[in-house]
Amino acid sequence: MAWLSFIILCPLVAALLIAVLPRNLRVLFRVLAVTATALSLAGALTVFFSFQTGSDGLQFEEYHPWIELLGAGYHLGVDGLNVGLVLLATVVAFAAACLAWEVTHREKEFYLLLLLMTGGVIGAFAAFDMLLFFVFHELALIPTFLMIGIWGRGPDRDYAAFKLTLYLMVGSLLVLLGLIGLHAAGGFRSLDMVDLQAHLAIDPAPVAWQRTLFGLLLAGFGMLVALWPFHTWAPTGYAAAPTPTAMLHAGVLKKFGLYGLIRVALPMLPEGARTWLPVLAVLCLGNILYSGLVAIRQRDLNLLIGNSSVAHVGFAFLGIASLNVLGVTGAVLVMVAHGFLAALLFGLNGWLHQRFGSTEMDRFGGLLVALPFAGTLLAMAMLAGCGLPGFAGFPGEALVLFGAWQYSRVLTVLAAWGALILAAVYMLRAIRTVLHGPLPEKLRGIAADVQNPWQRLPYALLLAGLVYFGVWPRALVDKVQPAAAEVVARARSWAAVPGSSMPSGTLLAGNDPEPGGTP
């Protein structure tokens, strides 16, 4: 059975159905959205748990020729790098669909866009054709703009939507240019990632060309993931976005950039990677330290979560920049962990906003007592956010730090400061302000917890994801590691490129040998 197509098509077919139904069938839209995403989720669970750990190559592969002229095909598949992301995408999509009840006007359009976005984002992660990869991403991105513009909230909505659109459009454009460049480097024969990768391994692109393309892709993918200093769209954008959109974008769609770097840029452009990764290693500290510090100063929960999310993806960048098996495996783990975490935090934050009309932290206090369910979940999510073992963030960040230590000790010390101290400072300050302490008089009457089990389910599911991969990281690590090892091997094959003259050991690289080299 074509599981991946099934997973992608469920939401898209549901979107089509909603498009043709009359607009007053509100309940039906909701049921359709929840059912479609639930089916996708079931499919993704099947794929994830029947994935053959340890075997090479793509699994659940599907291929149909598409545009022969360009060498584009409908090519889907999963390997270790994306099998977790596909699962993540469906879990978050299901949770987002469940939590879309907060939208009360123009539901038809909202659910339509949400389902398009869902189909797009899953497709982008499952695609092994660069055109398909890009088109699916745009299919997810454009609904994001519309949803923020139409259903967004807050006084700065227009500015935030405008800024986010601008950044992400520019990012996509750069990515497009980079992908076209890769197509050209492969002699315009194929857009298929597997083919192109094999081709470039034998016949690599010239060094200058590689450096240019990698720079383009790094800038483009970087903007899509809010790489410092292109990050300012993220906190304000998420603050203005409706809850399901923020969950899907921050949790899943944003990972597209990181995934693209690992899937496309690293293995196909080793010489470019060698030139640019030291730059990335420095920029990611901007995410980890600078955005961590900015998060400390936020007085609004939404902006705090937004900035913390920017800080967390810094660890994925750091893992990529270290370019070893530990780092890249850790980066993938961080992506999945952060996906569950960001979706959970934005979901809870949206619920608070819906209930209290604002997320300014000083207005709150004592919510743990007043709202046992929502408060406890928020507290757990925040503890997960400061890298507590037992939640998926810990193995991810730990692997990244172990990998980064082999690359540069100075960077690792600074990043560990961000992981262990800064994250704990802003998360615990938020818990202290929002959840602990006495309940303010004004909130006495209106504080009512999440009661309905159907409303509790999405939060519980996201938390379950965090705990599952936190307690048993091998469920993911064993799948990721072989694929990550292959990417690293390809990206480190720069010696094969003619004319590469860069001195080894750039700026910050410590050039540690693998530990344990001594008997």
Partner 1 sequence: MQVLPWLILLLPLFAAVGIALGALPAHRRGVAARLSVGAAGLAFLLSVLLWSSGTQGEQGFLWLAAGALKVEFGWRLDALSVPMLLVVTGVGGLIQVYSLGYMRGDKGFGRYFAGLSLFTFAMEGIVLSTNLVQMFVFWELVGVSSYLLIGFWRERPAAADACKKAFLTNRVGDFGFFLGILLVWSLLGTVNFTEMSAVLQRQPEALGGLATLAGLLVFCGAVGKSAQFPLHVWLPDAMEGPTPVSALIHAATMVAAGVYMLCRVFFLLDVPGSVALEVIAWTGIFTALLAGVIAVQQDDIKRILAYSTLSQLGFMVLGVGLAGGSHDPAPAMFHLTTHAAFKALLFLGAGAVIHALHHQEQNIWKMGGLASKMPVTFVTFGLATLALCGFPPFSGAYSKDAILLPAYEQGRYGLLVLALTGGFLTALYMFRLVFVAFLGPAKSQAMDQAAEVRGVMKWPLILLAVPTVLAGGWGIEGVYRRAFGAAEPVEAVSWFGQIIAPLTHAPMVALLAFVAAAGGAFVAYRLYWDALTDPLPDKLGTPAEWARRRFGFDELYARIIAGTQDALAGLAAAVDRWVLAGAVVRGGHGLVELAGRVLRLVQTGNLQGYVTFFVAGTVLLLLFVLTR
Q: Which residues bind partner 1 (CB under 8 A)?
A: 162-163, 166, 229, 231-232, 236, 290-291, 293-294, 296-298, 324-326, 329-330, 366, 368-369, 372, 383, 386, 388-390, 394-395, 398-399, 401-403, 405-406, 412-413, 416-417, 420-421, 424-425, 428-429, 431-432, 435-439, 473-474, 477, 480-481, 484, 512, 514-519
Closer residue to partner 1 (CB): 9 or 174 = 174
Nearest distance from residue 224's CB to partner 1, in Å? Answer: 16
Closer residue to partner 1 (CB): 198 or 421 = 421
Q: How many CA atoms lie within 13 A of 60 on its CB side?
A: 27
Nearest distance from residue 149's CB to partner 1, in Å? Answer: 17
Nearest distance from residue 215's CB to partner 1, in Å? Answer: 19
Length of the chain: 519
Label residue 203 exposed, middle or buried (CB < 10 Å: 0-12, 13-18, 19+). Answer: exposed
> Can you spell out the DSSP letters for 256-312?
HHHHHIIIIIHHH-HHHHHHHHHHHHHHHHIIIIIIHHHHHT--BHHHHHHHHHHHH
What CA–CA distance (Å, rounded) separates 59 from 397? 27
Closer residue to partner 1 (CB): 156 or 195 = 156
Contact 192, 263 (CB under 8 A): no
* Amino acid (1-letter code) at residue 174: L
Nearest distance from residue 436's CB to partner 1, in Å? Answer: 4
Residue 73 phi/psi, 5-degree rounding, is: -140, 165
Closer residue to partner 1 (CB): 187 or 372 = 372
Closer residue to partner 1 (CB): 51 or 290 = 290
What CA–CA distance (Å, rounded) separates 265 from 212? 11
Closer residue to partner 1 (CB): 200 or 435 = 435
Nearest distance from residue 190's CB to partner 1, in Å? Answer: 32
Closer residue to partner 1 (CB): 297 or 442 = 297
Nearest distance from residue 312's CB to partner 1, in Å? Answer: 16
Contact 114, 245 (CB under 8 A): yes
What CA–CA distance (Å, rounded) separates 340 from 81? 17
What CA–CA distance (Å, rounded) separates 318 from 285? 8
Nearest distance from residue 296's CB to partner 1, in Å? Answer: 4
